[in-house]
Amino acid sequence: MYSGKIGITTTVPVEIIYAAGRVPVDLNNIFVAAPDAGSLVAYAEARGFPQSACAWTKGLYGVIHRYGIREVVGVVEGDCCNTFALCEVLKSEGIVVHDFGFPSSRRADDLQTRMERFAEELGTTLATADAEKERLDDIRKLARRLYELADAGCVPSGDLFGGLLNTSDFFGDPERCRKELADAVARAEKDSAVSDRERIRLSCVGVPTIITDLWDTFERLGGRFVDHELPRQFALLNGIGDGMVETYLRYTYPYDVFRRIEDVKKEAGKRDVRGIIHYIQSFCYRQIEDRLWREGLDLPILTLEADRPGGIDERSRTRVEAFMERMTQQGRTG
Ligand code: SF4
């Protein structure tokens, strides 16, 4: 099913892959949706990955081998510091690895050079990719519409998350992605007549969660995520209609945390967000940034951590319940 496809370790200029006539597949999406996600982590550990490495990194490794992926784009700058070592291991095992990086300088000429080199490696050009972007932007417009509807409270947290996230690789099948997003938009438009602004409006930041029932847990307690920072950024909503370089410079995730905080703060203000969930992953270096998120956002923040893929654990559930209770009390008194 995945042979011949190019695995991506995070969001990359996916237009270049499509322009080259190739099919991208986001390894993260396969991992977290896999029925045996835990065994993919165990597979990596059996092949020498340490217990103390992040489960996402191990899961990606497990996906590559279990699903027969032979070619990967590894983002070795502007994403995860583990990816460099992961790519070294993959290269040693005969997997074809294309290194890509978002330059820390965040200069247009540096990013353009990286993109041109990546396009050349895949046998295409940046100009061809720019043309491909028009087609994909047309689908991103549906993601933007879904995000607009979410502001009315009529898009369940999980639907918003999935709708935005799927644009990271467009399922490797842009027309299928277009259809699924169009269906989600149609459902939300139908439900907008009964939009639910009574729910506690939340935003999630940090790294992608490995907790499979996190959105449902909050929904059951009266919460609703009206913003999901990461998939919103992956969907490149701020670059629709613009050129490749301009768009990927605006994309905040690969660069410093301060612009991410500013971006979340702006969206939270516009969307009347009442509380923030900062998801952190066990053994992830980005945990250090928790302090900066707390200092930068003037809203109640709950930091949640998990290690292995699966449902929410009892301790975290109790903390979520206490946080939501506090939010509800504030709503009554505020
Ligand atoms: S959670 Fe952190 S350590 Fe794990 S893959 Fe993501 S950025 Fe890397």
* Domains and their CATH numbers in the chain: 6-126 (3.40.50.11890)
pLDDT grade for 2, boundaries at 50, 70 and 90: confident
What pLDDT score does 191 carry? 79
What pLDDT score does 119 carry? 98
Q: How close is the Cα of 281 to the center of ligand 1, in Å?
A: 7
> Does ligand 1 lie within 6 Å of residue 157's CB atom?
no
17-41 pLDDT, tens digit per residue, is 999 999 999 999 999 999 999 999 9
What pLDDT score does 194 carry? 64
pLDDT grade for 4, boundaries at 50, 70 and 90: confident
110-119 pLDDT, tens digit per residue, is 999 999 999 9
pLDDT grade for 330, boundaries at 50, 70 and 90: confident
Reported pTM: 0.95
Atom of ligand 1 nearest to the CA of 60: 5
**8 Å CB contact between 261 and 292:** yes
> Does ligand 1 lie within 6 Å of residue 82's CB atom?
yes
Q: How close is the Cα of 290 to the center of ligand 1, in Å?
A: 14
> Does ligand 1 lie within 6 Å of residue 80's CB atom?
yes
> Does ligand 1 lie within 6 Å of residue 252's CB atom?
no
What HEC string does the chain produce? CCCCCEEECCCCCHHHHHHCCCCEEEHHHHHHHCCCHHHHHHHHHHCCCCCCCCHHHHHHHHHHHHCCCCEEEEEEECCCCHHHHHHHHHHHCCCEEEEEECCCCCCHHHHHHHHHHHHHHHCCCHHHHHHHHHHHHHHHHHHHHHHHHHCCCCCCHHHHHHHHHHHHCHHHCHHHHHHHHHHHHHHHHHHHHHCCCCCEEEEEEECCCCECCHHHHHHHCCEEEEEEHHHHHHCCHHHCCCCHHHHHHHCCCCCCHHHHHHHHHHHHHHHCCCEEEEEEECCCHHHHHHHHHHHHCCCCEEEEEECCCECCCHHHHHHHHHHHHHHHHHHHHC
Q: How close is the Cα of 160 to the center of ligand 1, in Å?
A: 22
Q: Report the percent of the chain where pLDDT is more than 90.
A: 93
Q: What residue owns the CA closest to ligand 1's atom 8?
A: 80
64, 75, 281, 282: residue to mutate for ligand 1 pocket, most atoms within 8 A of CB? 281
Whole-angstrom distance, CA of residue 273 vs CA of residue 30? 30
What pLDDT score does 315 carry? 98
Atom of ligand 1 nearest to the CA of 280: 1
> Does ligand 1 lie within 6 Å of residue 200's CB atom?
no
- Beta strands 24-26; 6-8: pairing state: parallel
What pLDDT score does 195 carry? 61
183-219 pLDDT, tens digit per residue, is 999 999 987 766 666 899 999 999 999 999 999 999 9
Atom of ligand 1 nearest to the CA of 281: 1
What pLDDT score does 196 carry? 65
What pLDDT score does 334 carry? 59
What pLDDT score does 46 carry? 98
How high is the mean pLDDT of the chain? 95
> Does ligand 1 lie within 6 Å of residue 207's CB atom?
yes
Atom of ligand 1 nearest to the CA of 81: 8
Atom of ligand 1 nearest to the CA of 286: 2
Give the number of other CB atoms < 10 A from CB of residue 329.
Answer: 10
Q: How close is the Cα of 37 to the center of ligand 1, in Å?
A: 16
Q: How close is the Cα of 168 to the center of ligand 1, in Å?
A: 17
